[in-house]
Amino acid sequence: VSSCHKQDIQQIKGRIWLGVEWDDPQRGKHDGTYEGTQYFKCRHPRGGSFIRPNKANFGVDFLAAVKDRYGLNDEQDVQRGTENTLVFGKTVEFVGMDSIAEQQSQLNQLVDISVRECAVSHAGQKEEISRTCANIRHINLSRNLISSWETVTAIASQIQNLETLNVSENKMKFPSTSTSVSGVFSKLRILALNQTEIMWTEVLFCAPGWPALEELYLTSNNITVLERPDNVLQTLKLLDLSDNQLLDGNQLHLIAHLPRLEQLILRNTGISSIHFPDAGFGCKTKMFPSLKRLAINDNKISQWSSINELDKLPSLQSLQCHNNPFMDTEKNPETLRQLIIAKIGQLKVLNKSEILPAERKGAELDYRKIFGSDWLAAGGNWNPEKNKPSEEFLAAHPRYLSLCLKYGAPEEGELKGRQPLTLKNQLLSKRTEMVKRVPSSMTIQRVKGLLYRLLKIPGSELKLSYESSKVS
């Protein structure tokens, strides 16, 4: 079943036709023009059609859809008493049908209702929903025939404790001016408006009516431009803008001061860079103060500098960043993961995989060694008074100095470049046994440095083991 919206009623060549625009433009044939006359306008140049009125389904009211979905409509109720059936020529009475119908008909006990794809188009008689379904808290109204936010409000106004509402996949008209604050959505915490063609300005017009909203889903709405949400959406904890082609990463600055925003989902939004200009190297930005989880999968981020910028976020703990061009710069997925971990100091989860303390330590130590030669070439020095690497180096490696403070500057024997993963570099050659005495106070890192000088094998490629001479 395909859905569309009525645009016009016309008499063409003596017959009545409905001019409609399909939600799926591929179902259409034209833009509302027939034989040179434009009868209505479409958003898509081939999204319109004319259909006969008897072929159209104009939908049902909300309560009728609920009764039908949960097997409680009036026609079925009549048939749900005691049933008599012939079995082998004898009449057999099936009892219990009344009790089943009675149990199912307790509409006022329903809390979580889904009427997805039930052709709901209007609210129905006033107060009928509140009299019949007083305890609803969660509603799925997605993929119906709702054409305006006004209809959604008419349904919600009869549900006092509504907490979750999904009206995705309904092409709707939304208020074009700021709406007056009412108590209709006073308890609403989760709202899904995916594929509804809502614009960000319309979100802001409606937002004063969502004073307790915590999660807002706005995927696939052709949103390109954002505006600062002044005095609205201040309770928001999750915002999903996936599959909207934002003009650029600077659009994020306009929503960067939502005080409680903990999760931001930006999959396939077309952004190519992320930048927080209010904070310098090694400093934290004032933007997104509460952001813990960020998803930037399937974008156009090509420079590692955007990953460096994410270290400026004061609360970031989880990052998803698959399918971005910058990831193609490193062929080894393990090395790629290490680089991201080392660049974002407070990260605890990367691409849905937990970062354990040992993995972080290893990543940071390797990062310190891999770029040690670059650090020296840029003006770095083991003498703290002379350690003044260039601004260019600090821009490329903002955490490098802090890693040196954490683990100590890399010794000359630890410095290494990135080695290609060729078979030659993975082969072990036969070596004679070597015995060396070392003080018990020597750290593992210094042992690795010593072994490098003796064996010319980078510390990251060594496998050390210790066997005590004392037998317990």
Residues 6 or more apart from 117 whose CB is under 8 A from it?
Answer: 1, 142, 143, 144
Residues in the chain: 472
What confidence score (pLDDT) does residue 85 get? 38
10 vs 166: which has the higher pLDDT: 166
Is-contact 117 144, C-beta < 8 A?
yes
Question: What pLDDT was estimated at residue 252?
Answer: 96
Q: Which of 56-60, 244-248, 337-341, 381-385 has the lowest mean pLDDT?
A: 56-60
Q: Which CATH architecture has domain 4-55?
A: Roll (2.30)
Tokens of 88: 């082998």
Cβ atoms of 285 and 261 within 8 Å: the answer is: no
Instruction: Classify 200 as helix, strand or coil.
Output: helix
Cβ contacts of 326-331, under 8 Å, gap ≥ 24: 326/301, 326/302, 329/304, 331/421
pLDDT in tens, 200-234: 999 999 999 999 999 999 999 999 999 999 999 99
**In the chain, what are the domain boundaries?**
4-55, 366-461
Measured CA distances, 178 to 69, 157, 186, 204, 271 (Å): 35, 18, 17, 8, 29
Interval 70-121: pLDDT, tens: 876 655 444 444 444 333 344 444 444 454 345 345 788 899 999 999 999 9
Helix, strand and coil in the chain, % to nearest 5: 30, 15, 55
Q: How many whole angstroms separate alpha carbon 233 and alpha carbon 237?
A: 9
Q: Note the pTM of the prediction, 2 decimals.
A: 0.77
What's the average model confidence in pLDDT over 168-173? 96
Containing 48, the helix (H) or strand (E) segment is strand 48-51
> Does residue 72 or residue 338 have the better pLDDT?
338
